[in-house]
Amino acid sequence: MSQAPLYTETLQRFENQAIVTVAAGATCAYLGDERSLREFLVADETARHLRAAGHTVFSLLIDDSLDPLNARQLRVAVNKDEKLQEQFQGWCGKPIGRLPDPWGCHASYAAHFEAKLLDRLHDFGCHPTLISTADLYRRGVYAPYVREVLERHDEVTGFLAQRFPGYTPDRLFWVICPCCGYMDATRMERVACWGVQAYCGRCEKSHGIAFGDLEGKLNWKLDCALRWTLFKIDAEPFSKAYLEPKAGTFAVARALSERFFGGAYVQPLPYGLVKMERHLSGRVLESLPAPALRNLFTEHPATDLHLTADLVMTTASRHEVSAGTSYLDAVKQLLPVWLLTPDALTKGQRDLVAHGTAFSRHFLDSEPALRLPAREHIAGEVPVVLEGLRCLLRQIITLRQTTGSCWESYQAPAKRLLDDVAPHKKAVLHCFRSITGQQQGLPVTRALFLLPLTYLQLVEHLLDLHLSVAVHNTVHPKSSYEPETLPLPLAA
């Protein structure tokens, strides 16, 4: 498969640069749905290509944790829980990195969602280094730059007005009120040689704040330009809206960087938007294995994606979980068998079971389960077919006990045993499928190999019971599957 132009161009761009830093930004005010993942996955896929070409790559995830929480973010964060929204609404307007964790498990509100996001990214094989900007501001990393921007306030706004007539920043710096801790209603009134005079609409007071005590964060475009310099960032994903040349974030940040922060050159990694029907939110993430979703988002990074149920089905049928087996087939055929032996599964199989169960529920409208055999499943069947199945099961159980878990040793003799079931083969196999509830499942030879021996023994035992009762109650003609002639006599 040919490589998307984005990766080819990036590899060419950094061909002679041994160390490359790829960064992606986030505001960890809530954990978004699958749409929000594309940016991180495109950054990581770029890093993967660079690493494969022999570069040393630093992957950064920068959380704007000094951003103020807003009501919309809170609503998503607490899963629309009205009680929690009411309880925490007083937090809106304060920086997320300074709020407590509503669930009490992390150092701050931001740290909670940073951990959740990192956990999710780890599932996709992304392991970026987290940079929480609230920590950087707290440690004074931004302080000299903040002071410079404030001292050159008029020069910066004049430069922006001249270069980007369509863009007038609301504020160059968001002051955190030293009195109430909110930052959404503060406005700088004056920059003096000792500090700033700022008015807080929440306190309805004006505060004089010395530079040494000044807290707050730079306008996002300034922050973006500055972080390129601070972390020597080489490449960063931007959606097309951010790359709009007239007043898009990238163009403005690049101009600011060139004029005020030493002009770091950053390669934008354009990625297309992900649109999705509302009812699919969260379900795609739950239902597709991480490599399938990763591939869907990164194969053609610049193309807009419309995630529909049809696209999810196509992706499931194209994604191979092992040689020759698509994810869709695995969900339909292997999952019911795996569910019987959860303890024996590998980590990869457990992941597939988790995703496959959700996929079945959301996209196939069924619960993947292998039912336990019960009397009612065999009640209407004619004895000759039941005896045929009992005989086959005994021989298969013996075969599996001798061949262990080796498919190669099992396959040919098992196929012969199945052929020998004639003349009732079709009815016997149908009976087996209806007992297990797997009319559409695996080929029977394979199912008989994968099902736990205890399960097969249970079916056999049930057949024994049923047939012995039938023998006592009725005198039926002897079939060619006379139990006494079988190689493995029944123990009980």
Q: Which amino acid type is present at position 266?
A: V
The reply to whether 179 sits near Zn ion by the rule CB under 5 A is yes
Q: Find residue 276's DSSP bridge partners.
A: 307
Among 19, 103, 127, 318, binds Zn ion (CB under 5 A): 103
By beta-carbon proximity to Zn ion, the closer residue of 1 and 105 is 105
Positions in 108-167 near Zn ion (CB under 5 A): 112
Choices 79-87, 96-104, 292-300, 448-456 (CB under 5 A): range interacting with Zn ion: 96-104
243 is a contact residue toward Zn ion (CB under 5 A): no
- Shortest distance, CB of residue 174 to Zn ion, whole angstroms? 13
User: What distance, in Å, lies between the first and last C-alpha atoms of the chain?
Assistant: 59
Interface with Zn ion, residue 188, by CB under 5 A: no
- Only segment of 192-200, 334-342, 343-351, 451-459 that touches Zn ion (CB under 5 A): 192-200
Q: Total residues at the site for Zn ion (CB under 5 A)?
A: 11
Is residue 106 at the binding interface for Zn ion, with CB under 5 A as the rule? yes
Q: Which of 11, 53, 92, 203 binds Zn ion (CB under 5 A)?
A: 203
Residue 203 in tokens:
């306190």
Q: How far is the CB of 118 from Zn ion (least distance, A)?
A: 12
Half-sphere exposure of residue 213: CA atoms within 13 angstroms, side-chain side = 13
| CB of 108 vs Zn ion, minimal distance in Å | 9
184 touches Zn ion (CB under 5 A): no
Contact flag: residue 265 with Zn ion (CB under 5 A)? no
DSSP H or E segment with residue 309? helix 309-318
Residue identified by tokens 């490599």 is 291
Residue 175 within binding range of Zn ion, rule CB under 5 A: no
Q: Which residues, in sequence order, are bridge partners of residue 95?
A: 68
Question: Any contact of residue 200 with Zn ion (CB under 5 A)?
Answer: yes
User: Judged by CB under 5 A, which of 58, 84, 92, 101 binds Zn ion?
Assistant: 101
Q: Residue 472: exposed, middle, or buried by beta-carbon count in 10 A (0-12, 13-18, 19+)? A: exposed
Closer residue to Zn ion, CB minimum distance, 101 or 151: 101
Q: Which of 228, 226, 230, 187 has the alpha carbon at shortest distance from 209?
A: 187
Cβ pair 194, 211 in contact under 8 A = yes
By the rule CB under 5 A, 202 interacts with Zn ion: yes
Helix (H) or strand (E) holding 435: helix 425-436
Shortest distance, position 182 Cβ to Zn ion, whole Å: 6
Half-sphere exposure of 206 (CA within 13 A, CB side): 6
Give which of 179, 216, 27 is closest to 109, Cα–Cα.
Answer: 27
CA 279 from centre of chain: 17
> What residues make contact with Zn ion under the rule CB under 5 A?
101, 103, 105-106, 112, 177, 179-180, 200, 202-203
